[in-house]
Structure 1
Amino acid sequence: MKEGPDIVRIAALIGDPARANMLTALMSGKALTATELAAEAGVTQQTASSHLAKLDAGGLLRMRKQGRHKYVSLASEDVAAVLEGLMGLAAKTGHLRTRTGPRDASLRKARVCYNHLAGDMGIQMFDGLQQRGFLMGQDDDLHLTPDGVAFVTELGVDVDGLRRGKSPLCRECLDWSERRSHLAGSLGRALLAAFEVRGWARRATDSRAVFFSPSGEAAFRQHFAA
């Protein structure tokens, strides 16, 4: 009898087209209702509820009830990282959706990957932090240097507060569009929030795209020049 993690069960949960569309929609980091997810998947609410129950039982979702509505989000950054990795594998092997247009270019430039910055600008931030000596190591040994702490503190990030949290401070996440690393973990989340607070960037309301103002993009590229 084979032993170890049951990847077949997780793969089967993700592999259904309707469930895959729902999970992809939740990569925006927003909590969505079953009605909204049914529209994303192109199925009835009853069918969506059945799919969501299976994903919840499989540990891929977090369900929260507020008032009359039940809100759904991804269970953790681990789930988001798996989905982003699968997107990268699909792109690399030529399994791409046929719809193209301006939104695709926007998503490739800057987008939300669950709760942190991805796309070309996310990769530039990761590379810039590493080349300036603010971020060292890789994979499980990725860490912020003392100079890096000073740098992100100036941007408004409370590093001590992040370290008291449960999430890892720094994590690598493989970017699906470029198949290179961008920064995840609580630091990646905090930096994206800092960009929004400073008015550098805003999230699109109808997609995962992140739009930088001209002045915000100039400031971003100055801070994270590789």
Structure 2
Amino acid sequence: MLGLRRVSYWQRCANPEARADVAEAKNSIFMPKKSVFGMYKSASEHTKLKGSVSAWIYTIPVVIVIVGYLMSYVWASYQRKIHPEQAQQQQAQQYQQQPQNYQPQANGQYPATGSYAEQAANNQQPPDNNLKPEDWQPAIDGQPWTAPIYNGHNRNIQTMPYPVACVQTDTSCTCYTEQATPLELPAKQCQNYVKNGIYNPYKARQETADNAPQGSYGGGSGASVLTLDSSAKPTMAHAETKGTMGQ
């Protein structure tokens, strides 16, 4: 205290840490002179105890937090399993308390109040259902029915451009659909259909050989007409006339 030091003396060899020896010692109080401090090096530099803090001091709190979180999660999951109706009621109450444009996340949970997800949901604008000029812009040039406004009708397909008749002349070969519209096919492919016919995988299987003939060939030396359908199509009259005129 106040820079004072105490020195103990004994008449014999004594233990300075034993209480009995300390009680028998003769004490002397003095104040060290500061002028002589620079003349020696303190021995306290090599007498200080050095030790490292155990890693468990930092690990144990983390382990306690993780174990507590896992226990609470397991307990909440167990409660939801044994009382599913309560969990549904709580979720319904949370949904009713939120705005209509408040959407749940991908995992089915709602974002916390005041979070970025909630702010983004509140900032969403209602969808614009008004018609716009681009709704009538066709996706394929020259085909106005491919505009986005007709998407609902374009997916309602009732038939397809399947060749039901082919007409071959000395200079050309054309195949037609059931609506008497020409198909854009290579000339070699059209000629092959006229010569060998075409397999129709969409036609019902026939049980007897009496119903085998499904096509009719006509025409003289100048033209050949192949009807690939079993029944005559009224809309194909002009196509057959075209083949006859080419003879």
Do both share a fold (TM > 0.5)?
A: no
TM-score category of the 2 structures, normalised to the smaller one: under 0.3
Larger Cα-atom Rg: 2
More helix by share: 1
